[in-house]
Amino acid sequence: MADPTADQASSALRTLEAELVRGRTLFDQAPSLSALEEAETSVLGRKSAFSSVQRGLRDLTDDERRTVGTRTHEVRQVLQALYEERRRSLAADHEAALLEADRLDVTLPGRRPRPGSLHPLTLTEYQLVDTFVGMGYRVVEGPEIENDWYNFQALNIPPDHPART
């Protein structure tokens, strides 16, 4: 008759191999980060078959515990590496999709500014100028001659300053 702990050990090893295959499949087929998180929980979570194998280690003999424990550790490392690799890949794809969606096409023509209008005071000034020109007056802008007061005295420039010569 077979030893019950040997059956438990071989059953645990089969479960580990099945979980490795299942985890690899679930991680590779996860279409999004949230689906990947769910896959990780179902494969490596507290209520998973993987965790039940770890909890069952206490029922095995020392040699079987060493063998199954080593394989459990190896499978966990492989599954975590697969998970991290897929998570990085999905995160990069998500980031690229966000960048593509937010991309600005600089070749598109710009928006034309809305046509504006002149200020009402400017329009009134133009009408007055047109009226006076129509009556025969000339329009002269600015002073024709500057005098000493506006150029120097009002600016507090002393009489012996070089700019006054």
Sign for the CA dihedral angle at 127, 131, 136, 137 comes to negative
Helical packing angle, 33-44 and 62-101, nearest 10°:
170
pLDDT in 10s for each residue of the chain, 165 residues: 456 666 888 888 899 899 999 999 999 999 999 999 999 999 888 888 888 888 888 888 888 888 888 999 999 999 999 999 999 999 999 999 988 888 887 888 888 888 999 999 999 999 999 999 999 999 888 777 788 888 899 999 999 999 887
pLDDT value, residue 107: 86
CB atoms within 10 A of CB 30: 20
Question: Which residue has 């991680």 as its token pair?
Answer: 27
pLDDT value, residue 5: 61
pLDDT value, residue 82: 93
pTM of this structure: 0.57
The ranges assigned to domains in the chain are: 4-101, 120-164
